Amino acid sequence: MKVLLWSVVLVLAIAASYAEGPFNYHQRIGIPEAAKIRRTEEDAAKAGVDLRIVGGSNVDISQVPYQVGLVIQILWILTSVCGGSLISNTRVITAAHCHHDGSVTAQSHTVVLGSNTIFSGGVRQTTSNIVLHPQWNPSTVASDIAVIRINAVTFTNVIQPISLPSGSQLNNNFVGQVGIASGFGRTSDGANIPNNQLVSWVRLPIITNQACASVFGSFILSSTICTNGSGGMGTCQGDSGGPLAVEVGNSRVLVGVTSFGAAAGCQAGLPAAYARVTSFVSWILAI
């Protein structure tokens, strides 16, 4: 029995060492990334750098018009960053840990819509009207999803909602499909954020939860969806709360909310994990 118990403890410890969970996200990631992104945008503006780059991993916001930036106020004096997805003219989906990461709770969120940059431009609203999933648990990363309520916005070519799964899609695990992840975060490990840093995107294969659990263990739940990180591609620091979408015909459907990745880094070739939207559609629609 003792051998079995220690085996279980060892497995959980190994899984925890692979996962960079959202606990204390703001101090570890969000606040430092916010400072870097702000400096980058200010330097670019002074230098007159053209911030509208299309191609590579950068993309114009009109290609992901549902992408939301969140500038988060912490303890009145600190700023953090996350992403989100516009799902209606009054609702944004993000990760619960972007508001409460188990250590600190945000005072407010400035929702940024229709902008290639997060600290300037676009339509901006500041709100503290956010609803966390009642089963959100920073220790187990369960139910890492939240809904932000905003004043009604006008849709344009750069501000458009993304659809939630519906009908037969609610029973689809999307394994084998290619997901589109986007955000304002880093595009590589360890690198400085360049002065042409924009919203960026990457296409990632959606994998089975079994394959994901082989890396992250019990952190992977039925309400988790994962993407393959082979080739050093995936979500990175600052992308938390942002969308994972799949293409259905000429439109996109939101299937994941960026939750956590590998402690070894964004380019380690390991999976990334997201809150599985199909598990939460009923709750979202009730907010």
Distance of CA 109 to the CA centre of its chain: 15
Residue 30 dihedral angles phi and psi, to the nearest 5°: -60, -50
Q: Is 56 helix (H, G, I), strand (E, B) or coil?
A: coil
Nearest to residue 83, comparing CAs of 258, 236, 208? 258
| Angle formed by the axes of helices 2-18 and 209-216, nearest 10° | 100
Nearest to residue 58, comparing CAs of 154, 190, 175, 183? 183
* Active-site residue list: 97, 144, 240
Work out whether the CA dihedral 148, 31, 144, 242 comes out positive or negative.
positive
